[in-house]
């Protein structure tokens, strides 16, 4: 047993290391933000030097003997607060994961993913699968080697899934995707046979300056605090949180596709509010930020789809758009806008997919990854497998690899097991919406009325109480169970999609 | 004597520490850039935590035993290259200066300057000298204590001047300002009595979007490489270089003062080109960046004044402005624009001063600082001394302290000995222009013709060869002597001002 003095000194050491890591994370995030939004081309080599050095120090603090000694004392210490126990648990896991990869393997991984990303860029530009193919086999092999190191003896793809969303494995996702396969695939086919919805009311050119103002309005009206936000334009939207008082949103604007920008900022705003909603007491510790990819995606999808693409919110969205584009929106009704926002059509490219077909894009990737890890297919066989699954699930032919298995950057960066969290996030969001609707109704402020009012404070309060405030101190499954009073159940998601799209497309 | 192996290993250690310091500097500069151009108000506390930690690591590497051991080996080593010898010399001096201040004094200094800056902000806002006065006396006392530590026994103000511009002292600046006092003061008085120049041709509102395009055009046409530049808007313009491939310019735009934005970007562009023009072999070492405040200011003032405010360049400037403001500039002639850019009038605020009166604002501050350090005046007496000198040199009455001794932030941050480098930079610039004109004429491309052509490549080539490439590897005095073939001579500056303003105002 450690003495009180040893515990106090270990806590000091832990917090000191946490603060030093926070400073390095702050630096890495700031440099990364500038890289995506501002840096000129010639800055690249110097930035690479700086990032490599800062990243090495960041990891060194995690794997170093100082933190190890502090955690050894604290793991069995009595009298720690709830937050301190969570901090010790999360820091210990982060440390174990980081320490599991020997430097030699980390270096090989870094080298391979760098080369593979360059090869992928070129392969995609030239629509040449063969140029990326050898890298994919090597990436899978090395990813499996990493997984073996992290959890020896366990199935490597189970490890990869667990790394991206703690508590998940193939059995979990198999059940999830089985339910999607049974309900969403026939729904997509039924929608395809039904009379199509028109999006003509939002066609045309919406000028950049007006869209930028609209973007700001939407971010602030959904609830992002202007006093915490840095907002910029970029090609590939993303968001980032430094602490609960400081968040970044990079979004895109296309003059010929106003809805793309609208849903980009609503989506990123959800991520940003999650980061900003974490208990401020967790700032400067490993408990800051979101607990997992899936829960993070649930927050972005919630604001993008359950709010932004809802029938109840459509009049609010129309009003926001009409403020900046009065002429173009003059003759548009809220119902026309609602339908335009929810037009569903099987397509080839994941990032352009609608709410209904999106999870099927993810299911294809999940199944292909699983086959790669199981050795049932090698990279050479991926394009054919990909085409077969797009035919089966989405009913479309893949004309080339550029719009097929080469479309996403993820694999070239070794991100296996990541895609499934995108679909899982949407499913979490539907389950949160269901539980929230019950709670709001019980409180006399029905969800529909809140959306229709445009004042989303009750929605944010529910999310803050049940999801945001916990940061990394609660595991994803615990978040869902505590928030919803039941374990994760994908039925909420499939029922939500079935109800919404059956009504939109007047399906029997 | 050290062995070859010891020297090689010491060089490795030196370069490793230099690279680690580069990464931290990269982080500090990036975070500082975001602070000035993008950060929301609530980000301030977290940023403070991060900056303090990163700054501590940055200094720790400089004062730590690793660098000390390497420098001990290298200081007497044979067979070092010219660059390595310069690196050892500059790193040793940086280390000695940083190490001279004991942590306890550094902490007192940090605390006092923080408090004094807050007090100054409030004092300036409320026009209350008394609120800042006690801090100024304490700042002077503590600054003197610091100077005593850095160079014991030497006059403290000599040390302060030397810290800001290595190789200078009171004797140096006394001679410089004596020459200004004798020539520029009567010149200013003569200009005041002469018929005034009109700036009506550039009055009115110039819209923000057009000025932003003009700003970009001017930066690129003076020669800033677009592939190295990050450009943004800010309240207080500044520039920063991370390495020779990556520079930042923050400039301002005022719709009702188009020339302010024009000269702001030309000025900052000069700073940025200096940073970008340093030998790329110095990247990631202490030799990167400019050699001194004065030489840096010479580059910004050169492009602002010797180029931007020259008669020969005026048609080019007019063309650039007319591209974005064709209606407003339609009836303006190049000569009218030239005159408007060079209107001189004694004024109260340094940052708004014209080229001719500017050095007198600096002379006032130099003389007041000297009196404060010598104990000839205390803070209580500063406003009266300030008013007396403005009356004497600029012929105007100081109506309040807000536009008097409270106008600048520098003293509240403990920056004594800094102001003189602003005037020195202008004088260096005039001497460079003189030498450059001789060299260009000898090469058959007269300075006037280069300016008139708008292609400044020969100007940049001269500056790169004589100033930029040397980074911190040459001292300021050496830069001037090598570039101009003679030591620093303020006569070039006073003759330049006399010739230019006598012609403009048709004096004697």
- A252-262: per-residue pLDDT in tens? 999 999 999 99
Distance from CA of A425 to the nearest CA of B (A): 28
Residues of B with CB under 8 A from a CB of A: 19-20, 22-24, 26-27, 30-31, 33-34, 38-43, 45-47, 49-54, 225-230, 232, 242-243, 245-246, 283-284
- pLDDT for the residue numbered A236: 87
Q: State yes or no: is B268 an active-site residue.
A: yes
Nearest to B20 among A26, A38, A53 (CB): A53
- Chain A CB contacts of B38 under 8 Å are 230, 232
Nearest to A246 among B27, B42, B283 (CB): B42
Question: Could you report how far apart the first and last alpha carbons of chain B are, in Å?
Answer: 67
Q: Given an 8 Å threshold on Cβ–Cβ distance, is B27 in contact with A22? A: no
Q: Given an 8 Å threshold on Cβ–Cβ distance, is A26 in contact with B40? A: no
Q: List the single best residue of B30, B34, B208, B272 to mutate versus A (max A Cβ within 10 A).
A: B30
- How many inter-chain contacts (A to B, CB under 8 Å) are there? 119
Q: Given an 8 Å threshold on Cβ–Cβ distance, is A227 in contact with B26? A: no
Q: Given an 8 Å threshold on Cβ–Cβ distance, is B243 in contact with A46? A: yes
- Chain B CB contacts of A230 under 8 Å are 34, 38-40, 43
Query: How distant, in Å, are the alpha carbons of A135, A146, B70, B111, B508 from that of A116?
Result: 6, 17, 39, 50, 74
- B115-173: per-residue pLDDT in tens? 999 999 999 999 999 999 999 999 999 999 999 999 999 999 999 999 999 999 999 99
CA B37 to chain centre: 20
What is the spatial distance between Cα B324 and Cα B317, in angstroms, rounded to a whole number? 11
- B400-419: per-residue pLDDT in tens? 999 999 999 999 999 999 99
Distance from CA of A28 to the nearest CA of B (A): 8
Q: Given an 8 Å threshold on Cβ–Cβ distance, is A230 in contact with B27? A: no
Tell me which DSSP letter residue A250 carries: E
- pLDDT for the residue numbered B1: 65
Distance from CA of B216 to the nearest CA of A (A): 14
Residue with the two structure tokens 């995506």: A36
Q: Given an 8 Å threshold on Cβ–Cβ distance, is B38 in contact with A230? A: yes
Distance from CA of B19 to the nearest CA of A (A): 8
CA contacts within 13 A on the Cβ side of B280: 7
- A62-102: per-residue pLDDT in tens? 999 999 999 999 999 999 999 999 999 999 999 999 999 99
Q: List the single best residue of A24, A45, A50 to mutate versus B (max B Cβ within 10 A).
A: A50
Q: List the single best residue of B46, B51, B226, B228 to mutate versus A (max A Cβ within 10 A).
A: B46
Alpha-carbon dihedral B124, B127, B133, B139, rounded to 10 degrees: 10
Q: Given an 8 Å threshold on Cβ–Cβ distance, is B34 in contact with A34? A: yes
Q: For residues B320-348, b (16+ Cβ closer than 10 Å) or e, as one string? A: bbbebbeebbeebebebbbbbbbbbbbbb
- A163-202: per-residue pLDDT in tens? 999 999 999 999 999 999 999 999 999 999 999 999 999 9
Q: Tell me the three state secondary structure of residue A63.
A: helix
- pLDDT for the residue numbered B61: 97
Nearest to A230 among B27, B39, B227 (CB): B39
- Reading chain B (508 residues) residue by residue, the pLDDT tens digits are 678 999 999 999 999 999 999 999 999 999 999 998 999 999 999 999 999 999 999 999 999 999 999 999 999 999 999 999 999 999 999 999 999 999 899 989 989 998 999 999 999 999 999 999 999 999 999 999 999 999 999 999 999 999 999 999 999 999 999 999 999 999 999 999 999 999 999 999 999 999 999 999 999 999 999 999 999 999 889 999 999 999 999 999 999 999 999 999 999 999 999 999 999 999 999 999 999 999 999 999 999 999 999 999 999 999 999 999 999 999 999 999 999 999 999 999 999 999 999 999 999 999 999 999 999 999 999 999 999 999 999 999 999 999 999 999 999 999 999 999 999 999 999 999 999 999 999 999 999 999 999 999 999 999 999 999 999 999 999 999 999 999 999 999 999 999 999 999 999 7
Distance from CA of B479 to the nearest CA of A (A): 27
The residue of chain A with its CA nearest to that of B37 is A230
- Chain A CB contacts of B30 under 8 Å are 27, 30-31, 34
The residue of chain A with its CA nearest to that of B229 is A40
Tell me which DSSP letter residue A279 carries: -
Q: Given an 8 Å threshold on Cβ–Cβ distance, is A246 in contact with B50? A: no
What is the spatial distance between Cα B95 and Cα A48, in angstroms, rounded to a whole number? 27
What is the spatial distance between Cα B3 and Cα A481, in angstroms, rounded to a whole number? 68
- pLDDT for the residue numbered A2: 78
Q: List the single best residue of B15, B25, B42 to mutate versus A (max A Cβ within 10 A).
A: B42
Q: Given an 8 Å threshold on Cβ–Cβ distance, is B50 in contact with A228? A: no
Tell me which DSSP letter residue B391 carries: I
Nearest to A50 among B22, B45, B225 (CB): B22
Query: How distant, in Å, are the alpha carbons of A396, B243, B324 from that of B34?
Result: 46, 18, 29
Structure ipTM: 0.93
With a cut of 70, say whether residue A474 has pLDDT above it: yes
How confident is residue A1, by pLDDT bands cut at 50, 70 and 90?
Answer: low
User: β-strands B246-251, B238-243: how paired?
Assistant: antiparallel
- Burial environment of residue B80 by CB neighbours within 10 A (0 to 12, 13 to 18, 19 or more): middle
CB A116 within 8 A of CB A139: yes
Closest to A75 in 3D by CA, of A58, A61, A95, A59 = A95
Nearest to B19 among A19, A27, A53 (CB): A53
- pLDDT for the residue numbered B2: 77
Nearest to A19 among B53, B226, B284 (CB): B53
Distance from CA of A287 to the nearest CA of B (A): 15
What is the spatial distance between Cα B416 and Cα B365, in angstroms, rounded to a whole number? 9
Nearest to B50 among A22, A50, A52 (CB): A22
- B320-352: per-residue pLDDT in tens? 999 999 999 999 999 999 999 999 999 999 999
């Amino acid at each position: 047993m450690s003495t009180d003095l040893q515990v106090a000194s270990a806590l000091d050491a832990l917090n000191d290391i946490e603060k030093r890591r926070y400073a390095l994370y702050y630096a890495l995030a700031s440099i990364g933000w500038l890289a995506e939004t501002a840096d000129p081309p010639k800055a690249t080599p110097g930035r690479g030097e700086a990032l490599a050095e800062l990243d090495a120090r960041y990891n060194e603090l995690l794997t170093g003997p100082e933190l190890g000694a502090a955690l050894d004392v604290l793991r069995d210490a009595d009298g720690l607060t709830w937050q301190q126990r969570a901090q010790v648990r999360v820091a210990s896991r982060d440390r174990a994961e980081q320490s599991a990869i020997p430097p030699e393997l980390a270096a090989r991984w870094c080298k391979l993913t760098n080369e593979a990303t360059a090869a992928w860029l070129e392969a995609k530009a030239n629509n040449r699968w063969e140029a990326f193919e050898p890298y994919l086999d090597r990436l899978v092999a090395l990813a499996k080697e990493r997984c073996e190191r992290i959890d020896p003896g366990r199935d490597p793809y189970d490890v990869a899934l667990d790394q991206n969303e703690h508590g998940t494995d193939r059995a979990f996702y198999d059940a999830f995707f089985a339910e999607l396969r049974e309900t969403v695939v026939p729904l997509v086919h039924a929608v395809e046979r039904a009379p199509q919805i028109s999006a003509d009311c939002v066609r045309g050119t919406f000028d950049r300056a007006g869209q930028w103002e609209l973007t700001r309005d939407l971010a602030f009206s959904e609830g992002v605090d202007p006093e915490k936000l840095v907002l910029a334009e970029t090609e590939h939207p993303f968001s980032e949180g430094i602490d609960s008082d400081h968040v970044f949103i990079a979004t895109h604007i296309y003059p010929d596709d106003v809805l793309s920008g609208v849903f980009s900022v609503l989506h990123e705003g959800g991520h940003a509010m999650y980061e900003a909603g974490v208990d401020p007491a967790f700032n400067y510790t490993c408990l800051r930020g979101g607990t997992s990819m899936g829960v993070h995606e649930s927050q972005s999808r919630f604001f993008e789809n359950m709010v932004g693409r809802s029938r109840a919110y459509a009049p609010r969205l129309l009003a926001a758009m009409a403020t900046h584009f009065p002429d173009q929106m003059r003759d548009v009704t809220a119902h026309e806008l609602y339908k335009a926002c929810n037009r569903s059509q099987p397509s080839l490219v994941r990032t352009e997919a609608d709410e209904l077909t999106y999870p099927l894009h993810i299911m294809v990737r999940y199944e292909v990854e699983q086959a790669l890890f199981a050795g049932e297919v090698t990279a050479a066989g991926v394009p054919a497998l990909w085409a077969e699954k797009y035919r089966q699930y989405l009913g479309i032919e893949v004309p080339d690899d550029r719009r097929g298995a080469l479309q996403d950057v993820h694999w070239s960066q070794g991100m296996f097991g990541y895609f499934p969290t995108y679909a899982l996030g949407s499913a979490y969001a539907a389950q949160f919406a269901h539980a929230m609707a019950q709670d709001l109704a019980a409180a006399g402020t029905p969800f529909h009325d809140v959306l229709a009012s445009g004042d989303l404070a009750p929605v944010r309060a529910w999310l803050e109480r049940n999801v945001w405030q916990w940061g990394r101190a609660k595991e994803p499954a615990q978040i869902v169970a505590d928030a919803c009073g039941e374990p994760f159940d994908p039925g909420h998601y499939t029922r939500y999609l079935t109800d919404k799209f059956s009504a939109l497309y007047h399906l029997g």
